[in-house]
Amino acid sequence: MFASCADPKSIEGLTWAMCYLTSGKHLDFYWSFLTVLLLLALTAPAALAMGFAGATAARSRLLPVSLLGKGYAAIVRGVPDIVFFLFFVIALDQGLEYLKSLAVCENPVWPWQGLEFRVCPEAKIPLGKSSAFWHQAYGFALAVFTFALVFGAFAANVLYGAMNAVPRAQLETAEAYGMSHGQVFRRILVPQMWVYALPGLSNLWMILIKATPLLFLLGVKDIVYWARELGGSKTQAYEYPHPDWRLWYFLGLLVFYLLFTKVSEIVLARISARLNHGQATAGGEALRKAAA
């Protein structure tokens, strides 16, 4: 990055450390922290949306819709996460390429070779001639969808329980005032349920933070990948030879996750206090006693 770093083997001391920490791979390592934050920023609302849809479907008066919502939560929660993060992504990728092959390939009948379904070059997603950016973006998009699908099932279970925790008397009172089923759902049930859902959603958010290293399993170069890559021992064949420093890199990741979870706890505590204010719940009662 700097002119003085042109020949790393000819420098030492603080200059060597500065050049080492500003090398191209280290810049990729720093950017990978943004990759983790972007994953959380995209996955959290997507998982919450899937969870809300699943919980709403589970409460439906139509039996097929209700079974679909309950089945989504039960099946995804019952299957080990590693199955989704290793095999579901492959199946999803193959399914998308198969559907695309039906539209763009002249002969859409393609054989299986090993574990991969071979399609014509025009049906590959992304195309073989695409830049590395699009390959990384596609892999990241599959990761976001997989994370949202898995954690959406857990969110659906939390929201379904929160909906059932809303006192039935409030819903019946709204119906007695002439509100339709949809109005009761939108104006009474949904606003009230967040008080009961927040503790479970808070735990789910913490679990999601801890699950971000699974990006490594999906082929995305995240902070775990770069920590292992940069921390491993480097011989004289590399620009910056050094012994095994993986312990220090992973300690750095430990500090990052601890700080991030601590900030999350503070934010979630403030949200909880705001939601419980004036509510006839244990949290609301504690706030009233504290104010008195």
Where are the alpha helices (H) located in 79-131, listed in sequence order? 81-83, 89-104
Residues 73, 78, 83: CA angle, nearest 5 degrees: 110
Q: Is 158 a domain residue?
A: yes
Q: Does any domain span residue 84?
A: yes
Point out the residues of the chain with pLDDT beneath 50.
282-288, 291
Residue 113 three-state SS = strand
Q: Is residue 2 part of a domain?
A: no
Question: In whole angstroms, how far apart are CA 241 and each of 9, 150, 230?
Answer: 9, 41, 10
d(CA 260, CA 68): 35
Say how far apart CA 285 and CA 288 lie, in whole Å.
5
Rg of the chain in Å (alpha carbons): 25
CATH number at residue 262: 1.10.3720.10
Range of the domain at 120: 8-291
- The 8-class DSSP code of residue 236 comes to T
Assessment of whether the complete model's pTM goes beyond 0.75:
yes
Q: Considering the domain boundaries, does residue 1 fall inside one?
A: no
Sequence-separated (6 or more) residues with CB below 8 Å from residue 16: 8, 240
Q: Residue 115's pLDDT is what?
A: 60
pLDDT digits (tens, 9 = 90+) for 179-217: 888 888 888 888 888 889 999 999 999 999 988 888 877
Alpha-carbon distance of 70 to 153, in angstroms, equals 9
Q: 157 phi and psi, to 5 degrees? A: -65, -40
Residue 3 lies in a domain: no
The structural domain count of the chain equals 1
Q: How far is CA 56 from CA 107, 243, 277, in A?
A: 42, 55, 26
Which sign, positive or negative, has the C-alpha torsion 147, 148, 151, 153? Answer: negative
Domain for residue 116, yes or no? Answer: yes
Contact 197, 189 (CB under 8 A): no
| Residue pair 157/57 in contact by the 8 Å Cβ criterion | no
Write down the pLDDT at residue 285: 44
Answer whether residue 241 is part of any domain.
Answer: yes
Q: Within 127-217, where are the H helices?
A: 132-165, 168-176, 181-184, 190-211
- Answer whether residue 251 is part of any domain: yes
Please confirm whether the linkage preceding 126 is cis (ω < 30° from 0): yes
Q: What is the pLDDT of residue 195?
A: 87
Q: Token pair of 201, please? A: 């959603």
CA distance 255 to 240: 25
